[in-house]
A = this chain, B = another copy of it.
């Protein structure tokens, strides 16, 4: 079987993690395009591919075009390359962009290849553990995409655009908002001269717990029973941080609401 070829449109954190994984699975990267020369050169170097910052120089004979760019510029890049490169399959890696971004451009094979993970530069990850969520323009292309994704990850799911949008939103809670809770906790500690690292065992254990228990079962703290005395005493400590105060109030109400839901579910069994 002939070796399949890839062009990467975008050389950011997602591309920098996915591209080597696909190379490791035997696909050959022909070229990397990025508006930023340093990024294009870095990823191309990693993949022993050529690079360009000129959209009109993107080669037209690749099997797959992976678009891994900011949501806002994805539609225009897809539209710009479709006429010349559209014999290849077009794929994007974005959580919130529907499959329909590829429609109406004369493309015959296109899809979504969305990895649910937070990627950092310079931090390698076990890609086989990263869930990949796929969507494809046809059942035949879905089968091809599933085979491709399975060569990279052990967790491959297929998902509609609207479900993927919900998944992306859930990742905002599980990653972005969680990380911000770490920030707010660290700010409180800093006031007392306590280093952030004192929280790391607690942070690690909180994450480890939900491998065994559902997060609703794992929930602890004064908000579960909505202990007004404890809550008010803690809120009083946040009086000079209005946003943080309101987050505490809302999160506590939401935790309590969820605990009551859990309780009534238990009682109805």
Contact = CB atoms under 8 A, between A and B. Distances in A.
Taking each of A167, A191, A201, A213, which has the highest tally of chain B beta carbons within 10 Å of its own beta carbon? A201
Contact of A176 (B117, B219, B250): B219
B234 A172 contact: yes
Interface string A186-217: 10110111101011111111110111111110
Contacts of A206: 118, 174-175, 178-179, 207
B169 A188 contact: yes
Q: Which 8 pairs show the lowest CB-CB distances between chains A and B?
A: A176-B221, A182-B215, A174-B185, A170-B188, A173-B185, A170-B185, A163-B192, A207-B207
Nearest to A206: B175
A251 interface: yes
Taking each of A170, A183, A199, A220, which has the highest tally of chain B beta carbons within 10 Å of its own beta carbon? A170
A244 interface: yes
A254 interface: yes
A238 B163 CA distance: 14
Taking each of A180, A192, A238, which has the highest tally of chain B beta carbons within 10 Å of its own beta carbon? A180
Interface residues on A, range: 35 or more
Interface stretch (A29-37, A44-52, A124-132): A124-132
Nearest to A204: B207
11 contacts: A118-B220, A163-B194, A166-B191, A169-B188, A174-B206, A175-B202, A175-B221, A180-B251, A183-B216, A186-B216, A206-B207
Contacts of A172: 221-223, 234, 248
A126 to B, nearest CB: 8
A243 interface: yes
A215 B187 CA distance: 10
Interface string A224-248: 0000011001100110000110111
A144 interface: no
Taking each of A157, A184, A238, which has the highest tally of chain B beta carbons within 10 Å of its own beta carbon? A184
